[in-house]
Amino acid sequence: LSELSHRSIGIFDSGIGGLTVFREISKILPREDLVYLGDTARVPYGTKSAATVTRYAIQNVRFLLKEDVKLIVVACNTASAFAVEALQKEFSIPILGVIEPGVAGALRIGGAASPDTPKPPSGSFELAKPDSHSRQLKICVIGTEGTIASEAYTKALHRRDPSVRVSGVACPLFVPLVEEGWWENEITQQIARHYLNETLDRGLDAMILGCTHYPLLKSTLRKVVGERVALVDSAEETARETALLLDKRGLLRESSARPTHRFFVTDSPERFQRVGSMLLGETLLNVRHVEI
């Protein structure tokens, strides 16, 4: 298999948000060549049906296969929720979605606060430790309408631990707010409270950020959920899982030559370049339009 190791990692998303996953993968795997496809002509996926999203996802994979990839990461949560199983049946290449890594990350907190949770000042209170023996872990998943309606996260959590109590909240306004750059703004915080207050009132141990865009709202969400709720970033978890999978299969790129990062979009590159550069905090180069 290792003669495949020189190939690129393929990543696709409905549009720009998957750059959060791209960024985490490029951090954890700085030697890998990455090829990203953003289906910007057909975004959003979050409001579309399972059948449509699955059809788009299959076309996206077919495109990436032509780019000589060794593994495909479905960065889009909605596509992962609706289509990962269909993709894995249809194609023989390893395909990794964001749901399973996010779920594993949420269950790992089982007892400990997440690394993202600030430590209490010394001499003050102890963080509450959810103890699976004495009470159920309460996990909330936030995502697009499609992701929440699919219950993909809930099912995946229950497959691993039937005792977990899972709630799901669709937060459709978050995607445009992030693309507008309103990550830490007062209005965004109010909207987040509006979506999440009821769930927070019932008590929560962890919240899974089940959408490509949400990691950019982490500091606003931290203010809204308080210090004790672990925020699980599925982009980070997926990057870690990608590295483990490549390592296990002997597919890590050996060469120390500078890796290439290429971007393809199905609409014109201009908006992707502009908004994507803001999301990544660096200028995006190498963006090309493709018809798929």
Distance (Å, rounded) from C-alpha 246 to C-alpha 292?
27
Dump strand ranges (E) for 122-268: 138-143, 165-170, 206-210, 230-233, 261-265
Q: How many CB atoms lie within 10 A of CB 165?
A: 16
Nearest to ligand DGL of 43, 83 (CB atom): 43
Specify the residue, 99 or 137, whose C-beta has the smaller distance to ligand DGL.
99
- State yes or no: is 211 an active-site residue: yes
Smallest distance from ligand DGL to CB 45, Å = 4
3-state secondary structure of 34: strand
Kindly tell me which of 13 and 253 has the beta carbon lying closer to ligand DGL. Answer: 13
Burial profile 97-131: b = 16 or more Cβ within 10 angstroms, e = fewer: bbbbbbbbbbbebbeebbeebeeeeeeeeeeeebe
Q: How far is the CB of 114 from ligand DGL (least distance, A)?
A: 20
Structure letter (DSSP) for residue 253: -
List of E strands, 15-90: 34-38, 69-74
Q: Which residues pair with 95 in a beta bridge?
A: 72
Q: How far is the CB of 13 from ligand DGL (least distance, A)?
A: 5
> At closest approach, how far in Å is the CB of 133 from ligand DGL?
34
Q: Which of 37, 192, 211, 216 is the catalytic position?
A: 211
CB 19, min distance to ligand DGL, A: 10
- Rounded to 5 degrees, φ, ψ at 246 are -65, -40
User: Is the CB of 60 or the CB of 117 nearer to ligand DGL?
Assistant: 60
Length of the chain equals 292
Catalytic residue list contains 140: no
What DSSP designation does 215 have? G
Residues with Cβ within 8 Å of residue 254, at least 6 apart in sequence: 5, 6
Which residue is catalytic, options 29, 53, 72, 76?
Answer: 76
How far apart, in whole angstroms, are the C-alpha atoms of residue 188 and residue 181?
10
Residues that bind ligand DGL (CB under 6 A): 13-15, 17, 43-46, 76-78, 143-144, 147, 175, 211-212
Closest CB to ligand DGL among 102 and 130?
102
Smallest gap, in angstroms, from Cβ of residue 85 to ligand DGL?
17
Q: Cα-flanking dihedrals φ and ψ of residue 212, to 5°?
A: -50, -35
Nearer to ligand DGL, 73 or 113 (CB): 73
Q: Give the sign of the dihedral formed by CA 187, CA 189, CA 192, CA 196.
A: negative
List, by residue number, the catalytic residues: 76, 211
